[in-house]
Amino acid sequence: EPEVTQTPSHQVTQMGQEVILRCVPISNHLYFYWYRQILGQKVEFLVSFYNNEISEKSEIFDDQFSVERPDGSNFTLKIRSTKLEDSAMYFCASSSQGTSGGWGTQYFGPGTRLLVL
């Protein structure tokens, strides 16, 4: 069964450093998403991406964040200058176009645990 994969599984970085989290969505999916889950808190939407553009983003997704689909398979989340509060589990998800005409069922990757020291 196809699945979303993410690398690395864990990353430790120093405050102020740039990190890039990588995701390989399911191959025939067209919509891509990033979520995060701070330890002990709810899963929060960050951004959605379709047709090489951001479709929607939350208040969390400020100028420190960016997303890119650098080739036909990868979907990346970059944090330019990490802060302590960026420590969280980051989930990538992908979906095909649903019957509602937009966002089908989203399939999630296993997550990347980011720790900012």
Task: Between 33 and 75, name the residue whose CB sits nearer to another protein.
Answer: 33
Q: How far is 50 from 32, CA to CA, in rounded Å? A: 7
Handedness of CA 76, 21, 23, 34 (dihedral sign): negative
Least Å distance, CB 38 to another protein, is 11
Beta bridge partners of 66: 78
Under the rule (CB under 8 A), what is the footprint of another protein?
4, 6, 33, 35, 41-45, 48, 56, 58, 91, 93, 100, 102-103, 105-111
Give backbone dihedrals phi and psi of 102, rounded to 5 degrees, phi first.
Answer: -160, -90
Q: Which is nearer to another protein, 46 or 116 (CB)?
A: 46
Q: How many CB atoms lie within 10 A of CB 80?
A: 12
Rounded least distance, CB 39 to another protein, Å: 12
In the complex, minimum distance from the CB of residue 114 to another protein, in angstroms, rounded to a whole number? 14
